[in-house]
Amino acid sequence: MVKEILQLESTNANDFKNEIVKDITLALKGYATNLQNPDNETLLTREETAKLLSVSLVTLWDWTKKDIIPAYRIGNKVRYKKSEVFKSLNQKNQFGQL
């Protein structure tokens, strides 16, 4: 475990606060950009998607076959976009729809 020590000299509390606020704002803008960027989409495996939804692989396959949840074939692997999984659930969020 490495301990980092930060020593401040020749700065006042207001300047220090402004620097912290500026860095946090930059970090949050970067985070927001990543959330809005579809190129940075998280792809899930069948197992991860089934675990996320708390269903069996058979149920997930059935929902995929019925076009309830869109899937993508990459070579011989099947992947699900995390945002589309949640979007599909929101669209089918009425009792008895799945």
Domain ranges of the chain: 41-91
Q: List, run by run, the mean pLDDT of 10-residue segments along the chain (98 residues).
A: 75 86 84 60 92 94 93 92 87 59
Q: How far apart are CA 10 and CA 45, in angstroms?
A: 53
Q: Would you say the pTM of this structure is higher than 0.75?
A: no
Cα angle value 50/73/34 (rounded, 5°): 70
Letter string b/e over residues 27-49, b meaning 16 or more CB atoms within 10 A of that residue's CB: eeeeeeeeeeeeeeeeebebeeb
Q: Which residue has the tokens 């999984």?
A: 85
